[in-house]
Amino acid sequence: MPAVRISMRKIKEILRLRFESGLSYERIALACSVSKGVVTKYVNAFQSTDLSWPLPESLDDIQLEQQLLGRPKTQRRREAYEPPQCDAIHEDLKQKGVTLQLLWEEYKQSATGHCYSYTQFCVIYREYKARLKRSMRQVHRAGEKLFIDYCGPTVAVVDAATGEIGQAQIFVAVLGASNYTYAEATWTQGLADWIDSHVRTFEFLGGVPALLVPDNLKSAIDKACRYDPEVNSSYAELATHYGCAVLPARPYKPKDKAKVEVAVQVVQRWILARLRHHTIFSLAELNAAIAQLLVQLNNKAFKKLPGSRRSQFEHLDRPALQPLPAQPYEFAQWKKARVNIDYHIELDGHYYSVPHALVKHPVEVRYTARTVECFYLGKRVAAHVRSYRKGAHTTLTDHMPKAHQKHMQWTPGRFLNWANDIGPYTLKVVKHLLENKPHPEHGYRTCLGLLNLIKQVGPQRLEAACARAWALGSPTRKSVRSILDSGLERQPLPEQDSQEPSSPETTHDNIRGADYYH
């Protein structure tokens, strides 16, 4: 007949009734609902030990069972086998591709004594893992995830000149496998500060993780969704530049980012709490203080795991991180625009050209502090150096229609050089035509018509006709054309006319004068 096993609570009650109350074995058996033989067994076992009643307070149930019956059955069985190194197993599981099956096989090969079965091996490891903090139960692969968030509390920064107090936001990022932590202060949680904090985080780590796990703040996610979140364009571009991906935490699922929740709490307690009595006068001063305390935090030894955040980072995450690109990401913003009828789009009051075929079409504009790029259907169609001149235009000739390109080829200087090659009087007439218009461009067509006469009559006749028109005080294209048609340019000028006359008198308000061309 198998032995009856009763609870330690009932065994203690048997001993109390015998040695404290002095009851007989029969009375104890009735009171505890056990047989008289069970009572005899435990009373005799107790009397054979060095224990006395009442039991010492320091004696727990396991120790009492060991004294009465020897080691517990499970413990005796386990002592006959070589125990697995659970702390090493926990660390190895953070490596990519490592499984419990693989570690069990390695355990069998390296063991010098009896080995546990795979099932019991897993049970022992799960018992070990259950004793760790809840936040450590999730297994994170080395170099895989970087969790990002902001602290709830802000830090006051006093302007030394005005005494005005600003509130700095605290950015926190933590690697999943090693808990290696980065923190810094920025003025806002806006897109520019969000992106720049990531760039500095990657530089601090010396590499890039495979996944970024942010909360659903507006600077990261345009549209929060459990199944199909819409990542901000600038944030997505940063991820592309660094060769990683964005995996936002699910809305209202704090367990998805439990790592950074704990890291935020640690930063608040280890860093911000230590700065609460300090008066900070600049953001740079605050970041210097955070950086100093951050070194201490990452070097602080774990309580239940071997090493520190830094040692785990050097062992696990650093070798698994992707290398940094040659150039850091430059913050860029995006906007949508529609191409105007003049084939330009507007950005901060300045106008930039795009190919004229895209008039009335929507384009995406990517702009940084130095450049402006336009994209149509994902293809870049224009690139310009950024200008901050309000109301001005930046135009590329290739973006213009052919007719506009030909028009843009003409300038006052080009007309004057052409006329100067023909002769001094032709130059005077052309100059007069350009100066007597509200804007030089208004005289382009007239000058072009005048100079094109050289194809019909040659340079000598054109120069002679311009000289007679100048002498007559009528330096216009119509007058020059009339002189050529009647052949008057072949006749000698009167003696008084041969002297170089002054410029024809004009009192028009729109005359610009020669100074316009200097």
Lowest pLDDT segment from 206-215, 254-263, 315-324, 446-455? 254-263
Lowest pLDDT segment from 228-242, 255-269, 478-492? 255-269
Angle between helices 191-205 and 233-242 (to 10 degrees): 20
How far is the C-alpha of 371 from the C-alpha of 12, rounded, in Å? Answer: 82
Q: How far is CA 516 from CA 197, 227, 425, 435, 508, in A?
A: 51, 65, 20, 8, 15
How far is the C-alpha of 276 from the C-alpha of 488, rounded, in Å? Answer: 97
Q: What are phi and psi of 212, to 5 degrees?
A: -105, 125
Task: Give the pLDDT confidence score for residue 323 in this predicted structure.
Answer: 92
pLDDT band (50, 70, 90) for residue 316: confident
Q: What are phi and psi of 478, to 5 degrees?
A: -60, -40
pLDDT tens-digit map of 88-130: 888 888 776 678 888 888 888 887 778 888 988 888 888 888 7
pLDDT tens-digit map of 417-434: 888 888 998 888 888 887
Q: How do 211-214 and 145-150 pair as beta strands? A: parallel
> Average pLDDT of 291-309?
87
pLDDT band (50, 70, 90) for residue 1: very low
- HSE (side-chain half, CA atoms, 13 Å) at 414: 12
pLDDT at residue 291 above 70?
Answer: yes
What is the CATH architecture of 145-320?
2-Layer Sandwich (3.30)
Give the DSSP letter of residue 337. E
Domain ranges of the chain: 8-78, 82-131, 145-320, 333-401, 410-517
pLDDT at residue 506 above 50?
Answer: no
Task: Give the pLDDT confidence score for residue 498 in this predicted structure.
Answer: 43
Lowest pLDDT segment from 114-118, 259-263, 430-434, 512-516? 512-516
Q: How many residues does the chain have?
A: 518
Task: Give the pLDDT confidence score for residue 125 in this predicted structure.
Answer: 86
How far is the C-alpha of 77 from the C-alpha of 85, rounded, in Å? Answer: 17
The model carries a pTM of 0.49
> Average pLDDT of 381-396?
87
pLDDT band (50, 70, 90) for residue 206: very high
pLDDT band (50, 70, 90) for residue 494: low
- Looking at per-residue pLDDT, the higher value among 445 and 508 belongs to 445
